[in-house]
Amino acid sequence: MQLISKPTQKEIKRAARALKDGNLVAFPTETVYGLGADAVNEKAVSRVYSVKGRPTDHPLIVHISSIRQLDNWAVHIPEFAIKLASEFWPGPMTLVLRRSPLAKDFITGGQNTVGLRVPNQILALALINEFEKLGGLGIAAPSANKFGAVSPTNIEAVKEELGNLLQTQDLILGGGQSTVGVESTIIDCTRAYPNVLRPGAITFEMIEKITGHINTLDLNQMKVRVPGLLNSHYSPKAQVVVGQNAAPGEGFIAFAHVPTPRGAIRLATPDNIEQFAYDLYSALRRADTLGIRKIVVVQPEGNGLAIAIRDRVNKASKT
Ligand code: TXA
Ligand code: MG
């Protein structure tokens, strides 16, 4: 495995070639880092599953360069999905649509839908564009962490997660800290109205403003496999708890204005909700590095991005 922390255009071309040849390339996006594979190469995609230790019925998101690539991968695309894509791509939003024959079972986990996203990160877009120049159609990329663990938001975290599981020809590309910090909003577009399957930085309010509608499905009644239906997801080794006081020696994550309990170890001091999302995963990781056993999180209140943060913290707190 080769680690390139600030790839040049030439190195991005080389990475695109590596993908086309069936190797894996971890790369930055604005949400979290992804572990990429050629989305039409079954062998490469199966390596993504084995490296992550992820069950094969758990679908992958295909990353494309623009809305123009949608028709390759999806059919029967509703008007509201086009509106969302036009408004929020490139951006932290994944659309779940009826799949075209290109989206094989090994990408969709056997479901008849496919998840698609255009990331808003300069290096990710450059990589996808170079990949498409070589005839590539899309890069399948789950978050670059082992199954159930915290998603990486910088190159060091990717190395820590997957460094010794990757092979000689695989690459890890760096592009600084992910600016959003939590995974994309996933919107199911296969029904009459948009349904949010995973909250993120594209908020309910934003979706409603563009489409005039919003639903949140009862996830427990859904047959599709989405993150968080499983217990313990996005979890560090330390135990994550909410609504408790932090004792001396325990980790503490809260807005800067919340006083740190005596003896507790402050892991993040965000001033606003965007910063909370930006800092969250690094703070959870830092706890593990410091050997902290328990992390107390004071959840942000309100709507918007706070909903995504509470979702991830709640899932991290399940054991
Ligand atoms: O921000 C993100 O979405 C990041 C970056 C790398 O793009 N990716 C990411 O991928 O979070 P992953 O695999 O860790 O989580 C994506 C989730 C999967 O767990 C899966 O449940 C859901 O998206 N998903 C993918 N395709 C789906 C589909 N066709 N139907 C329902 N859920 C789907
Ligand atoms: Mg993930």
pLDDT tens readout for residues 26-43: 999 999 999 999 999 999
How much distance in Å is there from the Cα of 245 to the middle of ligand 1? 33
Look at ligand 1, atom 13, and give the residue with the nearest C-alpha.
142
Here the tokens at position 153 are 């938001």
| pLDDT band of 173, cuts 50, 70, 90 | very high
Q: What is the per-residue pLDDT for 231?
A: 53
Q: What is the per-residue pLDDT for 222?
A: 44
Say yes or no: CB of residue 117 within 6 Å of ligand 1: yes
Residues spanned by CATH 3.90.870.10 within the chain?
Answer: 2-211
Q: What is the per-residue pLDDT for 221?
A: 45
Higher confidence at residue 310 or residue 221?
310
Residues facing residue 115 across a β-bridge: 61, 96
Say yes or no: CB of residue 108 within 6 Å of ligand 1: yes
Q: Is the pLDDT of residue 177 over 70?
A: yes
How much distance in Å is there from the Cα of 263 to the middle of ligand 1? 38
Say yes or no: CB of residue 230 within 6 Å of ligand 1: no
CATH of 2-211, one of 3.60.15.10, 1.10.357.10, 3.90.870.10, 3.30.300.90: 3.90.870.10
Q: Is the pLDDT of residue 215 over 90?
A: no
Look at ligand 1, atom 22, and give the residue with the nearest C-alpha.
226
| Terminal CA-CA length for the chain | 32
Say yes or no: CB of residue 96 within 6 Å of ligand 1: yes
| pLDDT band of 165, cuts 50, 70, 90 | very high
Which of 186, 224, 230 to mutate to test ligand 1, by most ligand atoms within 8 A of the CB atom?
Answer: 186
| Section 249-271 average pLDDT | 98
Which of 33, 54, 61 to mutate to test ligand 1, by most ligand atoms within 8 A of the CB atom?
Answer: 61
How much distance in Å is there from the Cα of 233 to the middle of ligand 2? 8
Closest CA to 135 of 256, 11, 7, 38: 38
Q: What is the per-residue pLDDT for 265?
A: 98
Q: What is the per-residue pLDDT for 220?
A: 44
Q: Above pLDDT 90, what percent of the chain? A: 92
| Section 276-287 average pLDDT | 98
Closest atom, ligand 1, to C-alpha of 35: 6
Q: What is the per-residue pLDDT for 48?
A: 98
pLDDT in tens, 48-105: 999 999 999 999 999 999 999 999 999 999 999 999 999 999 999 999 999 999 999 9
Q: Is the pLDDT of residue 229 over 70?
A: no
Say yes or no: CB of residue 186 within 6 Å of ligand 1: yes
pTM: 0.95
Say yes or no: CB of residue 143 within 6 Å of ligand 1: yes
| Section 226-253 average pLDDT | 84
| pLDDT band of 318, cuts 50, 70, 90 | confident
Q: Give φ, ψ of 59 to 5 degrees.
A: -65, 155
- Which residues, other chains included, contact 295 with Cβ-Cβ below 8 Å and sequence gap of 6+? 236, 238, 239, 240, 241, 250, 251, 252, 253, 267, 283, 284, 287
Q: Is the pLDDT of residue 199 over 50?
A: yes
Cβ-count burial of 263 within 10 angstroms (0-12 exposed, 13-18 middle, 19+ buried)?
exposed
Mean predicted lDDT score pLDDT of the chain? 94
The CB density around residue 220, as the number of other CB atoms within 10 Å, is: 6
| pLDDT band of 219, cuts 50, 70, 90 | very low
Say yes or no: CB of residue 224 within 6 Å of ligand 1: yes
Say yes or no: CB of residue 120 within 6 Å of ligand 1: no
How much distance in Å is there from the Cα of 258 to the middle of ligand 1? 33
Q: What is the per-residue pLDDT for 230?
A: 55
Where are any strands of DSSP class E within 49-92? 61-63, 74-75
Look at ligand 1, atom 32, and give the residue with the nearest C-alpha.
226
How much distance in Å is there from the Cα of 94 to the middle of ligand 1? 8
Q: What is the per-residue pLDDT for 243?
A: 86
How much distance in Å is there from the Cα of 260 to the middle of ligand 2? 30
Say yes or no: CB of residue 185 within 6 Å of ligand 1: no
Q: Give φ, ψ of 228 to 5 degrees.
A: 90, -10
Ligand nearest to the CA of 59: 1
Ligand nearest to the CA of 227: 1
Closest atom, ligand 1, to C-alpha of 111: 29
pLDDT in tens, 103-148: 999 999 999 999 999 999 999 999 999 999 999 999 999 999 999 9
Q: What is the per-residue pLDDT for 225?
A: 46
Q: What is the per-residue pLDDT for 49?
A: 98
